[in-house]
Amino acid sequence: DAEITQSPRHKITETGRQVTLACHQTWNHNNMFWYRQDLGHGLRLIHYSYGVHDTNKGEVSDGYSVSRSNTEDLPLTLESAASSQTSVYFCASSARRVNTGELFFGEGSRLTVL
Amino acid sequence: DQQVKQNSPSLSVQEGRISILNCDYTNSMFDYFLWYKKYPAEGPTFLISISSIKDKNEDGRFTVFLNKSAKHLSLHIVPSQPGDSAVYFCAAKKRLDSNYQLIWGAGTKLIIKP
C-alpha cells in the first residue's frame, strides 16, 4: 500500500544545532507540504513543493528550508534550531489538480529544542 | 488575518447524541471545504468535503452543511460514538495558479462522554 512516512518520530536537540526531518511518500504525488501544529494555531504551512526542483515558502517559513530532488522526498531542515521551533511537524502530499484538495498526512515528528 | 475560524476549542457530547462542529470563513473564493479528524500521536485524516456549489454532503453518520450567505459550515455527527473523540480541523481550499492551497482552522477537540 502507498504511504507517507516521517522520521524521526521524536527528536530532542539543542539550540543552534541543525536538524533535518525526513518525509518520504510512495503515492507518486507531485504536491508535498510541511506543516507545524501548535496549540491554538491549528496547522500552519512552512514550505511546499509542486514538483521536483520546485519549492515555495509558506506562512511560517523563517528558519526552515526544503529541497525537492525527487518525487518521493521532501526533507525539512532547521538551519539553527531555536526553542520557538519546538512543535509537532507534519508532512503531507496530494496529487496535482485534485478537485477536493484532499491531503494525505504522515504520522508527525515531535521536535523539542532545549 | 484568520480566513478560517473554529471558535470552539473543545466540545463535549453524550454518546448517542448529535455532535455539531462549526467553522466560519471570510474568503468567498474558496471552492471546497474539508473536514479532517486527528487522533493523538497520528496525522490528520480526511473525513468529508463539500463543494462551494453545494449546501449539503452526507457520508454515513457525517453530514456537512454549507451556508454561503453566512460564510459558515458545520459538521454533524449522528449518532456520536466514543471513537469520534478526536480533534476536528476545518480547512478551505483556494486555487493558486494551476494548483491550490488549504487554509486551516485551529481545530475543535470533541469529547464523547459514555
pLDDT tens digits, B3-45:
999 999 999 999 999 999 999 999 888 989 999 999 998 999 9
Q: How far is CA A97 from CA A12, B45, B93, in A?
A: 37, 19, 12
**Given an 8 Å threshold on Cβ–Cβ distance, is A101 in contact with B98?**
no
Question: What CA–CA distance (Å, rounded) separates B89 from B100?
Answer: 18
B1 DSSP assignment: -
Task: Choose from B30, B94, B100, B103 for mutation: most chain A CBs within 10 A.
Answer: B100
pLDDT reported for residue B35: 97
Residue A108 has pLDDT above 90, yes or no: yes
Task: Give yes or no for residue B1 having a pLDDT over 70.
Answer: no
- CB of A46 less than 8 A from some CB of B: no
